[in-house]
Amino acid sequence: MAVDDRPDPISEMAPNEAINEAHSAAATHKRVNAWQQPGPACLDFRSDTMTTPTASMLEAIMYTTLQDDVMVEDPTTNNLESYIAELAGHEAALLVMSGTMGNQVALRTHLTAPPHSVLCDIRSHIYNYEAGGVSSLSSAMILPIRPRNGHHLTLEDVKEHAIVSSDVHACPTRVISLENTLDGMIMPLAEVRRIAEFARAHDIKLHLDGARIWEAVAANAASLPDYCTLFDSVSMCFSKGLGAPIGSIIVGSKPYIAHARRIRKMIGGGTRQAGVISAAARVAVDEGFGHGPNGEGGNLRASHARARNVAEMWTSRGGKLANPTETNMVWLDLAREGISATEFARLAAEEGLKAFSGRLVVHYQITDEAVERLGRVMDAVLRRGRERETGVADGETTDGVNNSNGNGERYGSKESK
């Protein structure tokens, strides 16, 4: 195929150089194929959103159908929707442009008549990273709850804070929105079951922000339908660890998805030749997640093994983790070392790596080379921490970066999730 046969002037260069060249060339319309691997993601620990779309996705886009999805006429998009609905154990599905659009459309579809409130984890994406969409698009009050166990919401947390009341003063909870994985941590299936039972008993809808639900399944927590069928709606991302360039999907009942299609249209999310999105998304699911309800044959599991390796590199050097490594995220406790997120990002950049903070996302395109460099960054971090403790490097911290870690940055708050 023509795309693969192009001369490749950059394959002989060092990875950093090659990546920069490919991207500046793409930006200046030189004929260089930016879809080839390794892409810029191979040295980027900021997020799994950084995964570079692959040549196989480009090939799928070349051979996709190009009919109108607002008219529900595009076979590739219709196939993707019915395939994901079936894979998740739901009746229907709807392609959306982003995970944020997925959550917002899903919640707006549930929430029809204020006053109403949405209960969620205080660390959740819908509360922290969706520009306040729940309040502006759904006119809903958010009840952000800090889980008592520090890991995931439990039925006890939900019972304590859900507003179940006919009192005219109250703002009744109409949706409980869970997130799995959250900060790379898995919500146990048994706890979801307990909360689902409570929600059903009180006529509360249950939504899952499952942007990274694929990761929980790949970690063998439960199958995709085991999780998804407990919810009235689930949103799932194609463009995180699965690596698609664009796209997310919502699953639910047929009437629910029919209404969601209208809401999607209302906010400008109806796209015409959506096959260019859904073709790549299907490749992302097949290659990233795999071919069955348990993520058979997907490439996420290898990234989890690599994440465990990265965590072990840190702890064996004497570092501490801020959160357990259960899927593809490793949380270095930088505060304990007296290192700010900014300083860490700078130390990583010295090794040619990208990082936001102590949250390292180990997606499938992270290479051995990147992990090796990361080991040297860890050495530098821990050396600095120790020097600071013993006062050796007292004069050394005047480099314009506030190393006190008291600079008002909430730990890990600068992430685009």
Residues 48-87 that bind ligand PLP (CB under 6 A): none
- Residue, CB closest to ligand PLP: 99
- Does 211 bind ligand PLP (CB under 6 A)? Our answer is yes
Amino acid present at 353: L
Q: How many residues bind ligand PLP (CB under 6 A)?
A: 13
**DSSP structural state of residue 285:** I
First CA to last CA distance, the chain: 35
Binding mask 241-270 for ligand PLP (x = CB under 6 A): -------x----------------------
Q: How far, in Å, CA of 116 to CA of 184, rounded?
A: 29
Amino acid present at 235: S
Among 36, 51, 52, 100, binds ligand PLP (CB under 6 A): 100
Q: How far, in Å, CA of 76 to CA of 201, rounded?
A: 39
**Which residue in the block uniquely carries the two structure tokens 């709850």?**
145
Applying CB under 6 A, which part among 58-66, 97-105, 304-312, 390-398 lies near ligand PLP?
Answer: 97-105
To the nearest 10 degrees (0 to 180), the angle between helices 368-390 and 300-316 is: 30
**Which residue in the block uniquely carries the two structure tokens 């998304």?**
281
Please, which residues have CB within 8 angstroms of residue 165's CB and are 6 or more apart in sequence?
Answer: 172
Q: Please count the other Cβ atoms lying within 10 Å of the Cβ belonging to residue 258.
A: 13
- Does 417 bind ligand PLP (CB under 6 A)? Our answer is yes
- Does 347 bind ligand PLP (CB under 6 A)? Our answer is no
Report the SS3 class of residue 277: helix
CB 142 within 8 A of CB 158: no
Applying CB under 6 A, which part among 33-41, 98-106, 114-122, 268-276 lies near ligand PLP?
Answer: 98-106
At closest approach, how far in Å is the CB of 404 from ligand PLP? 30
At closest approach, how far in Å is the CB of 193 from ligand PLP? 21
- Does 98 bind ligand PLP (CB under 6 A)? Our answer is yes
- Does 212 bind ligand PLP (CB under 6 A)? Our answer is yes
Applying CB under 6 A, which part among 58-66, 99-107, 213-221, 376-384 lies near ligand PLP?
Answer: 99-107
What residues make contact with ligand PLP under the rule CB under 6 A?
98-100, 103, 125, 179, 209, 211-212, 237, 240, 248, 417
